Amino acid sequence: MRKIVCLLGSPRPKGNSAAMARAVCGAATEAGASVRTFPLNDLRFSGCQGCLACKKKSETCVLKDDLTEVLEAVRHCDGLIMATPVYFGEVTAQLKGFIDRSFCYLKPGYPHLPRGERSRLGTGRDLAFVIAQGHPKVDLFTDIYPRYEYFYRWLGFTQSRLLRACAVYHLGDAEARAEVLEQAGALGRELATGLAADSPPARGAG
Ligand SMILES: Cc1cc2nc3c(=O)[nH]c(=O)nc-3n(C[C@H](O)[C@H](O)[C@H](O)COP(=O)(O)O)c2cc1C
């Protein structure tokens, strides 16, 4: 059974990105995956302190707070879902807090290691990015996904997908969009079996 971890980056538990993530997770569960969801806004944790202890003396992040369990769950997952609204053209602070702390997955000397050997997680994991964007223009904020897809490839998330809805602003907007829910269902089913290696990276991993 594939293990999926879902991180909710929005402070709105009934918001658009959470609804989209719920649809992904529901389909994944139905298709036989086990899913563990963490609403990051309910957790108390610090941002990365840049202490580099995870590069000098520890295999894990030395900060001990509510994120410790999340980092441990992601360490053992097959697939990771990161759901977030667009806030000022970026992911939310709640999700960015996790992303910065995921620096602990990188091995010491990672910039000089060959691709595929940089992560303590190995390779072959799946990443699904779920983005709810208020603005209707689809060519705005397109940089978010390729940026994290690129870095998470370093962390061993070899395959990735984007589920994105634009022009969703108010509570309930995403749930009213049949095509979004349909794409969410398809993504969930794909995550349950493992993402196929058919999509080239949005930007070459360096
Ligand atoms: C602080 C804040 C910043 C936002 N910044 C943007 C933005 O830069 N671009 C955009 O398209 N929408 C922006 N929005 C709108 C949200 O992306 C939109 O309402 C989204 O559906 C919220 O997702 P949620 O329901 O999962 O919280 C912003 C909303 C807030 C509260």
**Residue 200, pLDDT score:** 52
The residue written with tokens 């036989």 in the block is: 32
**Does any domain span residue 33?**
yes
Is 18 part of a structural domain of the chain?
yes
Query: How far are the Cα atoms of 42, 107, 185, 189 from residue 84, in angstroms, in the given order?
Result: 15, 27, 18, 20
Nearest residue to 157 via CA among 112, 105, 192, 110: 105
Is 173 among the domain residues?
yes
Q: Say if residues 139 and 161 touch (Cβ distance below 8 Å).
A: no
Q: Which atom of ligand 1 is nearest to the CA of 170?
A: 19
pTM, entire model? 0.96
Q: Whose CA is nearest to atom 30 of ligand 1?
A: 87
Domain-embedded: residue 204: no
User: Considering its fold, how many domains does the chain have in total?
Assistant: 1
Domain membership flag for residue 135: yes
In eight-state DSSP terms, residue 48 is: P
pLDDT at res. 26: 98
Residue 197 confidence (pLDDT): 87
Residue 80 lies in a domain: yes
Task: Tell whether 87 is covered by a domain.
Answer: yes
Domain with 134, as residue range(s), is: 3-193
Q: Is 33 in the pocket of ligand 1 (CB under 6 A)?
A: no
- Render 77-112 in DSSP notation, one character per residue: -SEEEEEEE-BTTB--HHHHHHHHHGGGGBPTTGGG
Give me the CATH number covering residue 100: 3.40.50.360
Is residue 205 one of the residues assigned to a domain? no
b/e string for 145-172 if b means 16 or more Cβ within 10 A?
beebbbebbbbbbbbbbbbbbbebeeee
- Those residues of the chain that have pLDDT short of 50 are 201-206
- Quote the pLDDT of residue 33: 98
52 dihedral zone (left: phi>0; alpha: psi -120 to 50; beta): left
Whether 187 contacts 27, CB under 8 Å: yes
The three-class DSSP label of residue 119 is strand
Among protein residues, the one with the nearest Cα to ligand 1's atom 6 is 87
Using only C-alpha atoms, the chain has a radius of gyration, in whole angstroms, of 16
Atom number in ligand 1 closest to CA 9: 26
Distance from the alpha carbon of residue 169 to the mean position of ligand 1, in angstroms: 7
- Alpha-helical segments (H) within the chain: 16-30, 53-56, 67-75, 93-101, 144-154, 178-193
